Homo-oligomer: A and B are copies of this chain.
Amino acid sequence: MPADVLLFSNSRPPGAEVPFAHAAEPLRRHLGERVVWFLPWAGHDLDAYTGFVGDALREVLGPLDVRGLHAEPDPAATIRDADPDRETVFGGGGNTFRLRRRVGDNGVLAALRDRTDLRYAGASAGSNLACPTIMTTNDMPIVDPGGLDALGRIPVQINPHYLDPDPHSTHRGETREERIHEFHEENAVTVVGQREGAWLHGTDTSLTLDGYTARLFRRGHEPAELAMGTDLTWLTT
A binding-site residues for B, Cβ under 8 Å = 9-12, 14-15, 44, 94-95, 97-98, 124, 134-145, 147-148, 160-161, 163, 170-174, 179-180, 182-183, 185-187, 196
List 19 interface pairs A-B (beta carbons < 8 Å), by A numbering: A10-B172, A10-B173, A11-B172, A95-B182, A98-B186, A124-B173, A134-B141, A135-B141, A137-B140, A138-B173, A139-B182, A140-B182, A140-B183, A142-B179, A142-B182, A142-B185, A142-B187, A143-B186, A171-B196
Query: Told that A44-B185, A139-B182, A163-B173 touch, could you supply 13 new A-B pairs with CB distance under 8 A?
Result: A10-B172, A10-B173, A14-B170, A94-B182, A124-B173, A136-B140, A137-B140, A138-B173, A138-B174, A141-B141, A142-B182, A144-B147, A170-B196
Bound together, the chains give a CA A14 to CA B168 distance in angstroms of 11
Bound together, the chains give a CA A174 to CA B137 distance in angstroms of 12
Inter-chain contacts of A148 with B (CB < 8 A):
141, 144
Bound together, the chains give a CA A148 to CA B138 distance in angstroms of 16
Chain copies in complex: 2
Min CB distance A234 to B, Å, is 25
Bound together, the chains give a CA A95 to CA B186 distance in angstroms of 11
Among A10, A12, A140, A170, residue most surrounded by chain B Cβ atoms (within 10 Å): A140
Contacting pair B174 A163 (CB below 8 A): no
Among A139, A142, A174, A186, residue most surrounded by chain B Cβ atoms (within 10 Å): A142
Inter-chain contacts of A95 with B (CB < 8 A):
182
Bound together, the chains give a CA A172 to CA B11 distance in angstroms of 9
Min CB distance A193 to B, Å, is 12
